[in-house]
Structure 1
Amino acid sequence: MRVTRLFLSAALLSTAIPMAPAFAVPALQAHRAVYDLTLNKASDRSGITGISGRMVYEFNGSPCEGYTVKFRFVTQIVTSDNTRLTDQQTTTFEDAEGKTFSFVTKSFVDQNLDKEVKGMATREPKGLKVDIDKPEKNTLELAATQFPTQHLVELIGKAERGENFYQTNLFDGSEDANKVMTTTVVVGKRTDADKLDPEAPALAKLATDKYWPVDIAYFDDTDKSGEEVPEYRISFKLHENGITRDLVMDYGDFSMTGKLVNLSLFDQAKPCPASK
């Protein structure tokens, strides 16, 4: 079982969490969301008998200043042999035009630093340039792509237009920050809120808002094996302000759920100043 796969959800939920010209960007809500994580199912091959944990996702910014995401993903993984505590802490910044994306991720196992990845990606006319500072300096040239907030903006735009299936790509700096992921996105019909929804108390004043059910499959763009099997899948409920909830994260041999238990809404950024 690849423990690092537990660390991949950050960008999607920031994402799943999407930039185009400023006028086209929806009003993304600055917020802090806390999710309780539990094991959904696991195959015998995974060796996993239990998972519990918590995910904290904090989103701030504006279409004129850019977007900052702070993310923490803590899980206790129980197998037949042992119990392991994993802790990923990620901070990213995406500039307002979606041209640069800086990232730093520290991954801990049993409270010991296991890995640190730090760098910056820059969109260029012919592709993506990634300058990595840690774990060691390196420069990569990758295929043209977009960043997480761009990905979310695109998703909301297509959902609002009633488009229910499309394919796009994404760079989020996860794992070794050395590849672009191809994403296949399925968007369901906009759905009315359920009064008995268990996440309603955490949503508070947003509990009556409609949402779209979304399913995203992530494929390794560098995989030349010919197997069209996603690295992982994430399904969730998406609100028009960018908040995601009722998560199911499927890694093949096992899956887990993330239920929203606390939501703090921050003051929205002031409108961008008019260009001179």
Structure 2
Amino acid sequence: MRLRSLLAATIAPVAALAGAFALAGPAPAQQPAPAAAPGAVQAAVLPGSEEMVAHRGAYRLSFDKSRDSSDISRAEGVMLFEVLDACDGWASRQRLTMRLQDRDGQTIETASDYATWESKDGRRLRFSMTQMTGGAVSNRITGEAVLQADGSGVANYDQPGARQEALPPGTLLPMAHTIRAIAAARGGQRILNVPLMDGTSEDGAQESTTVVSPWKREADAQPRFPLLGGQESGRMRIAFFGKDNSGGGASSPDYEVGLRYYANGVADELNMDFGEFSVNGKLETLEAVPGGC
């Protein structure tokens, strides 16, 4: 497969994998909700939300491996991620740039700018994603998803065209998935199968399977960053399946991401598998971001 053909198949997973560990976030045009007035009644929040931390991090992406049949010989890039506590919601933005090289030495750059806002009750998501290839916009997805108490709901898309997708019962939004996955790891659960709605696909929710490794209950004695001090952690791998490739059985995922989650929602030690090739992501910088009500 030549490089430009491969990009057509992998550019969406590039953005989706960038969002796989997102806490949540707002469309760039949306402003965080104003802080509540003193004494105001706060909306319900998901249990575990209070442990999530607003932060800003930069990841260095390096080539891991490619399949023997793949045309990709090299891949590298950077990913910038920030999540803000917007009082009644989590606002985040992820910007990812990758440079790919084929076996003939041809190179091309692909990028994505992905942003969301997710209410702290896990019921509403605004999303915006712009994908670029060679500096030109190749795709844009914007819209909003609303869930009922049982996780069913609808995703209303504005771009690339006005349309509505039904969301099945049990659907989770990105922050809710992060909280549920960490809770599963702490509770000794090994598998988490849920539909995940993150706004990176035009088809609504994607089936996901998260394989959870045993939770590390002792914190690192000498963490690389102060924000990780005293934090337990656990490794997991999340596989995503399209509508025509539902999870379970012998089905192969459309793409996968492996990562190490800390108890406060920070992710490190990424491995992003696009099928044809995979890259590793190392957390290079990390800082806390003030916010909240």
Give TM class, smaller chain: 0.7 to 0.9
The match for 2:22 is: 14
| Runs of 5+ unmatched residues, structure 1 | 271-276
CA contact (8 A) 2:257 2:270 kept: yes
Once the two structures are TM-superposed, the CA of residue 129 in structure 1 deviates from its matched residue by 1.0
Q: Does 1:61 align with 2:61?
A: no
Q: Does 1:247 align with 2:256?
A: no
Following the alignment from structure 2 to structure 1, what is the Cα–Cα distance between the partners of residues 270 and 136? 28
TM-score of the aligned structures, taking structure 1 as reference length: 0.85
Following the alignment from structure 1 to structure 2, what is the Cα–Cα distance between the partners of residues 91 and 134? 14
Once the two structures are TM-superposed, the CA of residue 24 in structure 1 deviates from its matched residue by 4.4
Q: Does 1:90 align with 2:114?
A: yes
Following the alignment from structure 1 to structure 2, what is the Cα–Cα distance between the partners of residues 75 and 142? 31
Any idea what SS the aligned residue of 1:45 has? coil
Q: What letter corresponds to residue 231 of structure 1 in structure 2?
A: D
Once the two structures are TM-superposed, the CA of residue 40 in structure 1 deviates from its matched residue by 0.2
- Hey, which bits of structure 1, 4+ residues long, moved more than 6 A? none
Within 5 Å, give how 1:1-276 maps onto structure 2.
1=6, 2-4=9-11, 5-15=13-23, 21-61=45-85, 65-81=88-104, 82-124=106-148, 127-144=152-169, 145-190=171-216, 192=218, 200-201=223-224, 203-204=225-226, 206=228, 209-223=231-245, 228-267=251-290, 269-270=292-293
**CA offsets 1:14-72 (integer angstroms, 9 cap, x no match):** 159xxx8445434101001100001100013220010110001111126x511111001
The match for 1:273 is: none
For residues 156 and 179 of structure 1, do their structure 2 counterparts lie closer, same or farther at Cα, with a shift above 3 Å needed? closer
Once the two structures are TM-superposed, the CA of residue 234 in structure 1 deviates from its matched residue by 1.4
Any idea what SS the aligned residue of 2:270 has? strand
CA contact (8 A) 2:80 2:95 kept: yes
Any idea what SS the aligned residue of 1:172 has? coil
Following the alignment from structure 2 to structure 1, what is the Cα–Cα distance between the partners of residues 91 and 161? 24
CA contact (8 A) 2:193 2:210 kept: yes
Following the alignment from structure 2 to structure 1, what is the Cα–Cα distance between the partners of residues 90 and 14? 24
Q: How many residues of Structure 1 are paired with residues of Structure 2 in the alignment?
A: 264
What percentage of residue pairs aligned between the two structures are identical? Answer: 24
Once the two structures are TM-superposed, the CA of residue 111 in structure 1 deviates from its matched residue by 1.0
TM-score of the aligned structures, taking structure 2 as reference length: 0.81
| Runs of 5+ unmatched residues, structure 2 | 1-5, 25-43
Any idea what SS the aligned residue of 2:69 has? helix
**CA offsets 1:123-164 (integer angstroms, 9 cap, x no match):** 146832111111111122232311000001111222222323
Once the two structures are TM-superposed, the CA of residue 10 in structure 1 deviates from its matched residue by 2.6
**CA offsets 1:210-265 (integer angstroms, 9 cap, x no match):** 32122222222443698511122211111100000010112222111000000011
The match for 2:37 is: none
Q: What letter corresponds to residue 40 of structure 1 in structure 2?
A: D
For residues 143 and 22 of structure 1, do their structure 2 counterparts lie closer, same or farther at Cα, with a shift above 3 Å needed? closer
Any idea what SS the aligned residue of 2:131 has? strand
Give the root-mean-square deviation of aligned CA atoms: 2.7
CA contact (8 A) 1:117 1:177 kept: no
Q: What letter corresponds to residue 46 of structure 1 in structure 2?
A: S
Q: What letter corresponds to residue 48 of structure 1 in structure 2?
A: I
